[in-house]
Amino acid sequence: MAKLKLVLYWAASCGGCDIATLAIGDKILKLAEVADILFWPIAMDFKYSDVEKMPDKSIDACLFNGAIRTSENEHIAHLLRAKSKIMIAYGSCSYEGGMPGLANFFNRRSIFDRAYIETQSTDNPKKVYPQPKVQVPEGELEIPEFYDTVKTLAQTVDVDYFVPGCPPEEKTTWLALEALITGKLPPKGTVISHSIKSVCDECPLIKEEKKIKTFYRTHQIIPDPKKCLLEQGLLCYGVATRGGCGALCPQAGMPCTGCYGPVEGVVDQGSHFLSALASIIDCDDPEEIQEIISNIVDPAGTFYRYSLPDSLLRRARIK
């Protein structure tokens, strides 16, 4: 049997997804037996021109991690889409925008002002901002353009599968790789994970009644490790997050932050959690409700931690 031709790419990401791919451990040897990796910037020395020379659809599958933030990210997404039979959005950033997508609370101008002017360690009296093109004695230099809005991979090119997680767990990665290796592919558009239900569904913590009078931030209480964290007032996202990770975070005493994305069929993960959370507030008095809600200091950042670009509104309005 011909070996599977794979490529891996990182766009706007932290590098964690590439590490997560290696975290499949000794299965990597199995992968090496059945697959050739043709392009993988973090690990192997290839040039974009090597990819450009490949015939269209000559790559079997591309594992694309990272969001689309610059013209370079966008260009390579189109290039790899053209060369690959299967395009996989791997990890939260590629799938939903992820942490880099939090930049959609701002715009290019405010990000540049912060990064190149306002930060305490910056000394830039002439207010020089990065320019896509610059003339130097040797000629013109070009760097990628920084876009105003972060996009998901599927908002940029056609995507066949999604692998959730920030980063995806080893078993989730292997589930996707196994499907590629065996050729037993799920229907197009599938989010590849062991569960279509919620993290709560696989969480072993004891659940009683969900009625909340006060919310806490993680540093404010030491929760009972045996009981549901949400019932103790922590903003545990398990109710509105796809399972498959095995409910890792709550079992370690940390609330789920939602990294496996929405449960099957949900549009706008953030509003799903918002709705679930508001519903369990144990109060009917408008003023007291305001007071309870004031303990949720950053609702939009909490609800859309991984999914602002993929949300219905996609970004904040900047006045």
Q: Is 289 in the site for another protein (CB under 8 A)?
A: yes
Closer to ligand SF4 at the Cβ: 14 or 181? 14
Minimum distance, C-beta of residue 202 to ligand SF4, in the bound complex (Å): 8
Q: How far apart are CA 57 and CA 63, in angstroms?
A: 14
- Residues contacting residue 218 through CB under 8 Å, at least 6 positions apart: 234, 254, 255
Q: Which residue type sits at 32?
A: A
Determine if 81 is a binding residue for another protein (CB under 8 A).
no
The reply on whether position 107 binds another protein by CB under 8 A is yes
| Closest to 177 in 3D by CA, of 190, 195, 163 | 163
How many residues of this chain interact with another protein, rule: CB under 8 A?
42
Cite the beta strand spans of 24-132 per DSSP E.
Answer: 35-39, 59-65, 68-70, 84-90
212: phi then psi, degrees, rounded to nearest 5: -115, 130
Q: How far apart are CA 37 and CA 90, in angstroms?
A: 16
Q: Could you say which of ligand SF4, another protein, none residue 248 binds, taking C-beta under 5 to 8 angstroms by partner kind?
A: ligand SF4
Residue 295 touching another protein (CB under 8 A): no
Distances (CA, A) of 189 to 44, 121, 234: 29, 45, 33
| CB closer to ligand SF4, 93 vs 229 | 229
From the list another protein, ligand SF4, none, which binds 283 (C-beta under 5 to 8 Å, kind-based)?
Answer: another protein
Long-range contacts of 245-250 (CB under 8 A, 24+ apart): 245/165, 245/169, 245/172, 245/199, 246/169, 246/171, 246/202, 247/199, 247/200, 247/202, 247/203, 247/204, 247/205, 248/169, 250/199, 250/203, 250/205
Q: Smaller CB distance to another protein: residue 39 or 304?
A: 304
Which amino acid, 61?
A
Residue 317 interaction partner, one of ligand SF4, another protein, none, beta carbon < 5-8 Å per kind:
another protein
Give contact residues for ligand SF4 (rule: CB under 6 A). Answer: 199-200, 203, 205, 207, 228-230, 236, 238-239, 241, 245, 247-250, 256-260
Residue written as tokens 């109710």?
Answer: 239
Q: How far is the CB of 270 from ligand SF4 (least distance, A)?
A: 14
Specify the stretch interacting with another protein by CB under 8 A; choose among 30-38, 79-87, 230-238, 279-287.
Answer: 279-287
Cα separation of the two ends of the chain: 58
Contact predicate 211/280, CB 8 Å: yes
Q: Which is nearer to ligand SF4, 86 or 240 (CB)?
A: 240
216 binding another protein? (CB under 8 A): no
Binding part of the chain for another protein, among 43-51, 182-190, 251-259, 270-278 by CB under 8 A, reads: 270-278
List the x/- string, 127-166, binding to another protein by CB under 8 A.
------------------x-xxx-----------------
Give the interface with another protein as residue ranges (CB under 8 A): 71, 74, 105, 107-109, 145, 147-149, 267-268, 270-272, 274-275, 277-279, 281, 283-284, 286, 289-290, 293, 296, 298-301, 303, 311-319
